[in-house]
Structure 1
Amino acid sequence: MSARLPSWAWVTGLTTGAIAVVAVLAVQADGGAKPTAATSRPSPSATADAKPSAKPEEKKPVAVPAGSGTGRRIVYALDQKRVWLVDASDTPRRTFTVWPGTVSPDPGSYTIGARTEATTGSDGVEVEHIMYFAAKSGVNVAFSNAVDGSSPPPPAPGTPTGGIRVSKDDGRALWTFGTAGTPVRVVE
């Protein structure tokens, strides 16, 4: 169902992404230090192969949502504000919470299109690992992470933002997993 966007739409989207909070969620393969964040920060990642967490509720992996497809894919659950990286055998390899923007993609199937290594978000924060996969109401939707590992500030009232920001470690892992053409399944 995804349509190919003309180049001007990508340029407009990248510009909008630089103006809007590019909140790209990314999964990182290594276990680097996590930044200290405000209480609005998502909880630490729960993964099938991660180090155990100090919190009991984080030790149990969160199940991939039913109806999210099969095979190697990225699953994004809107209501849970959570992403899963699922391998070809339908095994979740990593899951983590995200900070969504103000514009959410509709539930459905997408693919990773353009990938940008780094830019500046509308909040003035340098972001990296930007992976575009949808567009809605003229706003491109993408995963990314802040270079400094910070969580995004609340967007200005009425500002449409399509960035889904993730932690720095999760962003690195997502960037490695989500090559161009990787399926993305968005569920409620």
Structure 2
Amino acid sequence: MAARLPSWAWVTGLTVGATVAVVTLAVQADHGPHPTAATVKPSATASASTHGSAKPKPPARPPALPDESGQGRRIVYSLAEKRVWLVDATGKAGRSFEVWPGTVNPEPGRYSITLRTQSLKGSDGVQIEHVMYFTKAEGVNVAFSNALDGASPPPANGQKLGGIRMHKEDGAALWAFGDQGTSVVVVK
């Protein structure tokens, strides 16, 4: 009659076998190709080989500060680029970011921040913060802001909206940069 192995022996044997298998797989994986994080979204035509020879392109630099954007410390808003630059007193753009304009655009020209409001509900019904008003166009207040949840604005559905929205971190940077009276230059 054959002797039965105790259950602890079976459990110990299975545990040792599983540990050996995991260690073997880990060693093999360590010698294989390693994925790297992409710094830019790949294009539809981009292809990478399995040997990792494709190199990601560096992120594109933001467009240069428009020439006709004035002098001194200011906020520059380009209608065509849908972009804002925060420009210091020496004329150097310290930060630039894309924005989502509303359906009503201000005319190109020089304005200043007339009112700052920490947070409120926007005319589109979205909770917004870092609201900085600088003009009116077509009877609508035009202001920079960001949604509390960081989302882009929903479609306007025929509404006249003057909010120029941005990402949450850009809204915080703009709020820190622009006090009441800060110059805003709108360019085409």
Scaled by the length of structure 2, the TM-score of the pair is 0.69
SS in 1 for 2:59: helix
Mark the runs of 5 or more structure 1 residues left unpaired by the alignment.
Answer: 1-52
Bigger RCO (CA 8 Å, 6+ sep): 1
Counterpart among 54, 57, 72 of residue 39 in structure 2: 54
Distance 2:128 2:160 in 1: 17
Distance 2:97 2:105 in 1: 17
Distance 2:141 2:178 in 1: 17
Paired position in structure 1 for 2:75: 74
Contact kept? 2:124, 2:161, Cα under 8 Å: no
* Residue identity in the other structure for 2:141: N
Assess, with a 3 A threshold, how the Cα gap between structure 1 residues 108 and 154 changes in structure 2: closer, same or farther: same
Deviations 1:93-115 (A, max 9, x none): 10000000011000000000101
How far did residue 54 of structure 1 move? 1.7
Distance 1:124 1:135 in 2: 19
Paired position in structure 2 for 1:154: 155
How far did residue 123 of structure 1 move? 3.2
How far did residue 59 of structure 1 move? 4.2
Scaled by the length of structure 1, the TM-score of the pair is 0.69
Deviations 1:121-153 (A, max 9, x none): 233321000000010121110000001111110
Distance 1:180 1:58 in 2: 34
Alignment of 1:109-120 (within 5 A): 109-120=110-121
Distance 1:58 1:66 in 2: 23
Alignment of 1:106-145 (within 5 A): 106-145=107-146
Task: Give percent identity, aligned residues only.
Answer: 57
Paired position in structure 2 for 1:165: 165
Q: Answer yes or no: is 1:186 the counterpart of 2:171.
A: no
Distance 2:105 2:58 in 1: 27
Bigger radius of gyration, 1 or 2?
Answer: 2
* Residue identity in the other structure for 1:83: V
Mark the runs of 5 or more structure 2 residues left unpaired by the alignment.
Answer: 1-37, 41-56
Paired position in structure 2 for 1:86: 87
Assess, with a 3 A threshold, how the Cα gap between structure 1 residues 138 and 94 changes in structure 2: closer, same or farther: same
SS in 2 for 1:58: coil
* Residue identity in the other structure for 2:184: V
Contact kept? 2:140, 2:161, Cα under 8 Å: yes
Distance 1:100 1:57 in 2: 27
Distance 1:141 1:166 in 2: 14
How far did residue 57 of structure 1 move? 6.2
Deviations 1:33-82 (A, max 9, x none): xxxxxxxxxxxxxxxxxxxx923463424210011001100000001100
